[in-house]
Amino acid sequence: MKSWPLFLLLAAVLIAPIALRPKDTRSLTPAPGERALVLITPHNESIRYEFGRAFEAHYFAKTGTRVRLDWRTPGGTSEIGRYVASEYLAAFQDHWVRKLGRPWSGAVAASFDNPKVALDDTPADDTVEQQARRAFLDAPVSSKLDVFFGGGSFDFEQQARAGRLVDTGFVREHPEIFNDTTVPRVVSGEPYWDPQGRWIGTVVSSFGIVYNTDSLRRLGIERPPAQWADLADARLLHQIALANPTQSSSVNKSLEMLIQQQMQQAAAAIAKNEGSLPAAEQEKRAVAAGWARAMQLLMKIGANARYFTDASTKIALDVEAGEAAAGMTIDFYGRFQSEAVRRPDGSSRLQYVSVVGGSSVGVDPVGVFRGAPNADVAKEFIRFVLSVEGQKLWNWKVGTPGGPHHYALRRLPVLPQLYAEEFKPLRSDPEVDPYELARSFTYHDAWTGRLFRPMAFIFRVMCIDPHDELVAAWSALIAADFPPDAMAVFSDVEAVNYAAASGSIRDSLSGDKITEVQLAKTLADRFRTQYRRAAELARGK
């Protein structure tokens, strides 16, 4: 009986948050006379709230009809990609078997959304693979989703090439926006819109470093990190927050930025010292040398990592809380969280810095799915997001005319006109101009674009799987003041050099899963052995 008060208190702690949470009387099912819009997105709750509220008001004012936004948030863009692919697989199988009366097979399943299956003007000569591909592109097969909103251009291009996104007509209808002087097709090497109109960039992003000023002060670090290489500082051992790039496309993109910066620095050095070489040879050497330097830098940053989360959003939160001193992140995660903990005097313990010369400036697009049940509402959503009215939501201060109601989103609109001097007092980040930042870096797709998945895989087998051995070796090297012989062993990245990454490793990841698992074990075991040997040498054994 003496324990009853404790049980009652525990029950109150568990039940009270549920009982006292605000009641949402709205159902996901539209009411009579109400339209629906189903969106899948990696965007956070703040973005969903502000755009949902604003679009519902816009749609009602324009049409006199209410619209209900149904947000689907299965995770990051990698999880979204898998979910969408599985939905279309199930929908097309139903179409192929029940409506077309054709037998289902592995060849059909592997071909219907495969952009490598080429089609010509003679359907009568189609193979079964071509028949499947043509049937998918000709039919309104639906995933029951309307809009894909947010994520990187790489993810949208994958969906578009598969045939899951369709032309909305918006690009074609607005040549005054989509041209070389307003919103160019390519900025700093990054695509900003699809020439076929299947996806359009809505907001601009870059990558950088988020850091906690209190944590840096505690560690005796006076100069805050400003470049990727600063995260390899030995004083940051156990202090770096990172996400697993195999689970987060945005984090994998930040790793790609680091790699590209090293390649560009190698190119500048080779041009200065070996300028007599043919340009093609200079580029070849720079790419290989920069890749090796990047792998070695990632190894050190990985050794400083406190953990590898599966959610890139967690990085800024943990750095703000002091669980880590710094981390690699996409700009708006850092800016948004810095805003969330801003003190009354305007200061914040959490700061974000863009890596100048170390990041391209890309976009988060929007697109409409093939067979969208509410295609007309979806197209109106795109018109709204890309209007001046919608673009203001990304960076206008809370409460300003046309700005967000509750959350300063701290993101950068894609329309250049919103960076005019007259708008500076209204913007949350008045001194940031992504188009100016883009001048400091040019992304070279030919260097790493086809290695997006191998990059994540290599980081995993080099830093995540053998993390205990990596940290032990790095700690021993720090204690011994980095003896050259031990550092040479520690820094060996020959097993994952550029030739291997673009050759055998990439090929293995394109094959069956067993081959991939076997390669992962082989490489991880090799790095474990290497790190153990480096630690022994550092300790003088």
Which three-class secondary structure string do you get for 224-256?
CCCCHHHHHCHHHCCCEEEECCCCCHHHHHHHH
pLDDT in tens, the chain (541 residues): 556 655 556 655 555 554 544 444 444 566 677 999 999 999 989 999 999 999 999 999 999 999 999 999 998 788 899 999 999 999 999 999 999 999 999 999 999 999 999 999 999 999 999 999 999 999 989 999 999 999 889 899 999 999 999 999 999 999 999 999 999 999 988 999 999 999 999 999 999 999 999 999 999 999 999 999 999 999 999 999 999 998 887 888 899 999 999 999 999 999 999 888 999 999 999 999 999 999 999 999 999 999 898 778 889 999 999 999 999 998 888 988 888 888 888 789 999 999 989 998 999 999 999 999 999 999 999 999 999 999 999 999 999 999 999 999 999 999 999 999 999 999 999 998 999 888 888 999 999 999 999 999 999 999 999 999 999 999 999 999 999 999 999 999 999 999 999 999 999 998 788 999 999 999 999 999 999 999 999 999 7
Nearest to 108, CA basis, from 129, 136, 88, 87: 129
SS3 467: helix
Angle at 13 between CA 9 and CA 16, to 5 degrees: 115
Which residues lie below 8 Å from residue 397, measured CB to CB, with a gap of 6+? 403, 408, 426, 427, 428
Instruction: With beta carbons less than 8 A apart as the criterion, state whether 483 and 476 touch.
Output: no
Q: 207-359+443-538, superfamily in CATH?
A: Periplasmic binding protein-like II (3.40.190.10)
* R_g (Cα) of the chain, nearest Å: 25
pLDDT of residue 400: 95
> Hey, where are the domains in the chain?
32-73+142-205+361-432, 79-140, 207-359+443-538
Class of the CATH-defined domain 32-73+142-205+361-432: alpha beta
pLDDT of residue 310: 79
- Fold: same for 32-73+142-205+361-432 and 207-359+443-538: yes
Query: Residue 313: how many CA atoms within 13 Å on its side-chain side?
Result: 9
pLDDT of residue 22: 45
Instruction: With beta carbons less than 8 A apart as the criterion, state whether 167 and 196 touch.
Output: yes
Which residues lie below 8 Å from residue 226, measured CB to CB, with a gap of 6+? 209, 353, 355, 356
What is the value of pTM for the model shown? Answer: 0.79
Q: Which residues of 111-130 are buried (b: 16+ CB within 10 A; e: fewer)?
A: bbbeeebeeeeeeeebeebb
d(CA 117, CA 133): 7
d(CA 398, CA 409): 9
pLDDT of residue 247: 82
d(CA 436, CA 172): 27
